[in-house]
């Protein structure tokens, strides 16, 4: 079908604003699953190496032409009204064939 956009997997890393990661990671993961219907799975992680201090990993299926909007929405995600429940950093990696 002409004009139909192929969806791709987006691998997501989120870092909460809580430097101690005291429970906010779980709340952020739950909020991600609740508010983003295209997120298929999400888990909390403990990063031991690499850049940043990411605490949530997820996979979503998205339209690659809307990846910038998707990443912007992720950056605005907040689990609750506490400042520590905001997203501090986001990385989105798209699978391409």
Residue 1 lies in a domain: no
Number of domain units in the chain:
1
Q: Residues with Cβ < 8 Å from 26, sequence gap 6 or more?
A: 44
CA distances from 81 to 18, 55, 86 (A): 13, 19, 9
pLDDT digits (tens, 9 = 90+) for 15-35: 999 888 888 999 999 999 999
Q: 41 is in which domain, residue-wise?
A: 8-94
Residue 68 lies in a domain: yes
pLDDT digits (tens, 9 = 90+) for 1-18: 455 679 999 999 999 998
Domain with 38 in it: what CATH number? 3.30.70.920
């Amino acid at each position: 079908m002409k004009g139909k956009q192929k969806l791709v997997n987006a691998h997501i890393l989120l870092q909460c604003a809580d430097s101690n990661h005291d429970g906010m990671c779980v709340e952020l993961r739950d909020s991600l699953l609740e508010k983003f219907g295209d997120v298929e799975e999400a888990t909390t992680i403990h990063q031991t190496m690499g850049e940043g201090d990411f605490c949530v990993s997820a996979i979503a299926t998205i339209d690659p032409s809307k990846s910038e909007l998707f990443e912007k929405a992720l950056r605005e995600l907040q689990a609750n009204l506490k400042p520590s429940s905001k997203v501090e950093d986001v990385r989105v990696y798209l699978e391409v064939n």
